[in-house]
Amino acid sequence: MPEEDEEVNWSMVDRFRLWRHDAMMQHLYETAVFWGDKVLSWTNDPNDAFWLAQTHFLTNQYSRAERLLTRPWPVNRPRSLNIKGKERADANGHSLGILGGIHVPQDATASRLVDMSVACRYLAAQCSVRLGKWQDALEMLGEANPFRGLGLSGPRVPNSDGGIKVESSMCYLRGILMLRLNRTDAAKENLMEALSLDVKNFDAFEVLIGGEMMGIDEEWAFVQGLEYKQQTSEDAEFVRSIYTIRLKKYKHTDEITLCRERLMEEYGLSENPDVLFGYADQLYTQYRWVDCYAITSKILELRNFHSPALAVHLACMQHISHLHPKLFLLAHELVEREPDAPISWYAVGVWYFITGKYTEARKYFSKTSLMDPRFGPAWIAFAHSFALEGEHEQAVIAYSTSARLFQGSHLPLLFIGMEHIQLFNVTLAEEHLEAAFKMCDSDPLLLNELGVLAYQKKQFDRAVKLFNEALQLAKVIPGAESKWATTYLNLGQAYRKLGMYEQAKVAFKRVVEINPYHPQGLACLGMMNHLMNEISDAILRYHEALGVDPLNTNIIDLMNLALAANSEINPLTLGARGASIDDTSEMDMGH
């Protein structure tokens, strides 16, 4: 072939590569496939084969892409262009970029693309995942990171071109496969390795942290210990801060707040949905539902679909009764607008949940879990629906599934313990509550339940200590102490059992200050007046309690005792029928 003809042919290939590239960028995938196929027929270049497979992948034609990557490839070395360096990459439309080109050995005659290139192997594994062939994908990637310990890789080695390491992406995908195969420990190990290798891999971070795979102390130590400076020296503080605000808010609240303020003020992200979500999550942890709802509403104005914020938004709407009609409308809107999103059907389930239609709610929570097995709120809500129906054994089974799936969260273990308290299974309740406490020792609700358990075991001194610790933690949370009337009631009951009537009276007064219409608080305060020979005050309190709950036979009996001023009967003999710690535990479940 004359030299001038050869130049014409190669320039034609270059033009077609450019067409392929532009078609991909403009989402004209059929156009990209059409011209890319012609380029591959002319060149037989593995790099052109990779980009054709990439285009097939983007059009959901996973079998075609996988076949192209895994079939034997006859290697005819492509002719070189008469240009060099960056110009050659530009003429190719685009090279493999940060993945690197496919280098064919000089003596190669035939091979598979997956054997020539890590990028091709990774893409083939992605195809297998999309086709539901988990085991095939795992075999393609290997059971463990093959590059580990080779010296050219590791957490302290930055990527030479500044992009995301393919090694990290492969570890992430391996972790996802382990989750699909129910190998949770191996999944966690690979996801941690993925994020350690490249702190820019947010997918790995989201599954680890958003998926509740790590405990409070574990995730804090891990995220703070990542090699930010070694991998991205100029942006290290920003990446560390943006990750820190997503961690659990039961501890390190000052550090998390400082990071959020820095992101808002120094980096200009005061209107960024992800930064605002970190604040909303903190408010929700502090039981500040109205404030949290204001923030999540702002997030949804900025971005109409933000799944983590939507989950918290729905939870706030559940707690704020006057927002229930809006929740109904939002659920319908989500189903119409985002029918393929699990959270849309979760919203429908929440609506049925708040209306007391628990069987219907479970149908939608189940649908959500089928669409996304890692959607934690649906599992918890599913279990709650059984608990509120008094189906404690079914609730325990559902909470246990949640505990197995989300091993970094103490909440499923806490809820299991609460159910066993209802069933008077003291040993099992203690086992699960202590396990939850090892994971999170700073949740006031958990300390309250441990106090209830101590009360059931007649360890009244320990109960007083735990209730006081719970209330001390609640006081640290701005505006949240008002949510803890139940714990003050518990504290008063424990003091009463110890014969410490003055302290009990103070606790019961606090209940009434928080909620003047709390029938148990009023009745217990009347009981203390009665025991301390303040009969007139006792009658007044019993009367107020009956005004709120006129059919409560326990309070009626106490009133009759007070009216019979000369009676020798101690009102505490009615304790088995009066306001009891068991009633308090039931209220906690509702809370």
pLDDT band for 116, please (50, 70, 90 cuts): confident
At 105, which amino acid appears? P
Residue 480 has pLDDT above 60, yes or no: yes
Residues 20/39, Cβ–Cβ less than 8 Å? yes
Q: What is the mean pLDDT of residues 572-591?
A: 35
Task: Read off the pLDDT of residues 302-340 as tens digits, 9 standing for 90 and up.
Answer: 998 999 999 999 999 999 999 999 999 999 999 999 999
User: How far apart, in whole angstroms, are the C-alpha atoms of residue 477 and residue 556?
Assistant: 38
SS3 309: helix
User: How far apart, in whole angstroms, are the C-alpha atoms of residue 102 and residue 47?
Assistant: 6
Residue 154 has pLDDT above 90, yes or no: no
pLDDT band for 379, please (50, 70, 90 cuts): very high
Q: Cα torsion at 271, 275, 277, 281 (round to 10°)?
A: -140
What one-character DSSP code corresponds to residue 206?
Answer: I
Q: Which of 76-85, 183-192, 273-282 has the lowest mean pLDDT?
A: 76-85
Residue 2 has pLDDT above 90, yes or no: no
Helix 444-456, helix 581-590: angle, nearest 10 = 150
Q: What is the Cβ-side half-sphere exposure of residue 204, based on CA atoms within 13 angstroms?
A: 30
User: How far apart, in whole angstroms, are the C-alpha atoms of residue 418 and residue 430?
Assistant: 10
pLDDT band for 482, please (50, 70, 90 cuts): low
pLDDT band for 112, please (50, 70, 90 cuts): confident
pLDDT score at 156: 79
| pLDDT, averaged across the chain | 86
pLDDT score at 572: 47
| Secondary structure (DSSP) of 50-102 | HHHHHHHHHTT-HHHHHHHHHSEEE--PPPPPS--HHHHHHHTS---GGG-PP
Q: Cα torsion at 119, 125, 130, 131 (round to 10°)?
A: 130
What one-character DSSP code corresponds to residue 233?
Answer: G
User: How far apart, in whole angstroms, are the C-alpha atoms of residue 432 and residue 448?
Assistant: 14
Exposed (0-12), middle (13-18) or buried (19+): which is 275, by Cβ within 10 Å?
buried
Buried residues in 421-440 as b, exposed as e (16+ CB within 10 A) = bbeebeebbbebbeebbebb
Per the rule left: phi > 0, alpha: psi between -120 and 50, beta: everything else, 94 is beta
Q: What is the Cβ-side half-sphere exposure of residue 141, based on CA atoms within 13 angstroms?
A: 30
Q: Which of 97-106, 140-149, 316-325 has the lowest mean pLDDT?
A: 97-106
Task: Read off the pLDDT of residues 491-517 as tens digits, 9 standing for 90 and up.
Answer: 999 999 999 999 999 999 999 999 899
pLDDT band for 90, please (50, 70, 90 cuts): very low
User: How far apart, in whole angstroms, are the C-alpha atoms of residue 141 and residue 122?
Assistant: 7
Residue 7 has pLDDT above 60, yes or no: no
Helix 307-319, helix 273-285: angle, nearest 10 = 30
User: How far apart, in whole angstroms, are the C-alpha atoms of residue 76 and residue 145?
Assistant: 31
- Structure-token match 């530009």, residue found: 90
559: Cβ–Cβ under 8 A, 6 or more apart, which residues?
A: 539, 542, 543, 546
More confident residue, 444 or 565: 444
For the chain, the domains span 1-141
Residue 590 has pLDDT above 80, yes or no: no
pLDDT band for 565, please (50, 70, 90 cuts): low
CA angle 248, 254, 255 (to 5 degrees): 70
pLDDT score at 562: 86
pLDDT score at 479: 60
Residue 88 has pLDDT above 60, yes or no: no
Hey, what long-range contacts does 299-305 have (CB within 8 A, 24 or more apart)?
299/273, 302/271, 302/273, 302/276, 303/273, 304/337, 305/337, 305/338, 305/341
The closest alpha carbon to 246, from 271, 209, 217, 284, belongs to 209
At 102, which amino acid appears? I
Helix 29-43, helix 46-58: angle, nearest 10 = 160
205: Cβ–Cβ under 8 A, 6 or more apart, which residues?
A: 195, 223, 243, 246
Task: Read off the pLDDT of residues 380-408 as tens digits, 9 standing for 90 and up.
Answer: 999 999 999 999 999 999 999 999 999 99
User: How far apart, in whole angstroms, are the C-alpha atoms of residue 437 and residue 448?
Assistant: 11
Q: Which of 221-225, 430-434, 458-462, 565-569 has the lowest mean pLDDT?
A: 565-569
What one-character DSSP code corresponds to residue 484?
Answer: G
Residues 197/153, Cβ–Cβ less than 8 Å? yes
pTM of the model: 0.85
Task: Read off the pLDDT of residues 503-552 as tens digits, 9 standing for 90 and up.
Answer: 999 999 999 999 899 999 999 999 999 888 888 888 999 999 999 999 88
Task: Read off the pLDDT of residues 18-61 as tens digits, 9 standing for 90 and up.
Answer: 999 999 999 999 999 999 999 999 888 889 999 999 999 999 99
State which CATH number among 2.30.110.10, 2.60.40.10, 1.25.40.10, 3.30.460.10 fits the domain covering 1-141: 1.25.40.10
Residue 92 has pLDDT above 60, yes or no: no
pLDDT band for 284, please (50, 70, 90 cuts): very high
pLDDT score at 583: 39
